[in-house]
Amino acid sequence: MGSSNRALCLHAVAAFFAGMGLVGIVEPGMVLHFFGLDTLPPDLRNEVRGVYGGFGLAIAALLVFTRRVERRRPDYALGLRTAVMVSLCGMAAGRLVSWAIESTTGPWPLVFFAVELALALLLSMAMPESRCA
């Protein structure tokens, strides 16, 4: 895959995390609205801002950073992107375990499962080319 296509995949994942982060910080109630929680107490809003907001923005920044160091340090970019990709796969695997324990009633767990796998796939496509022969 060419460099511009890898960059597009990488920036698509970064944009998703940035969007998630911004929504989590600015409108934390929107994040859990998908799961039937219309109002959140302050402690839960704080949790959403930290986990969805701060984490999402940090991951977006990290992924953009890997683009800047990719030419000089492809091994560094590979490691960071792999860590994010494994995290996404872990989230998807956690959903599988949850489904084995109990069924869900709404569509959102399946939607987010698919999103997590799609983002992991995009990150796999964004991996820097190896310089080792």
Give the residue among 100, 108, 62, 61 at the shortest CA–CA distance from 81.
62
Q: What is the pLDDT of residue 129?
A: 72
Question: Tens digit of pLDDT per residue, the chain (133 long)?
Answer: 678 899 999 999 999 999 999 999 999 999 988 888 889 999 999 999 999 999 999 999 999 999 999 989 999 999 999 999 999 999 999 999 999 999 998 999 999 999 999 999 999 999 987 554 4
Q: Is the pTM of this model over 0.85?
A: yes
Whether the CA torsion 80, 11, 71, 133 is positive or negative: it is: positive
**3 state SS of 129:** coil
CA distance 28 to 41: 10
According to DSSP, residue 128 is labeled P
CA distance 119 to 70: 19
The domain locations on the chain are 3-125
Q: What is the pLDDT of residue 133?
A: 43
Q: What is the pLDDT of residue 130?
A: 57
Share in percent of the chain as helix, strand, coil (round to 5): 80, 0, 20
- For 23, other C-beta atoms within 10 Å of its C-beta total 17
Q: What is the pLDDT of residue 35?
A: 85
CA distance 17 to 37: 22
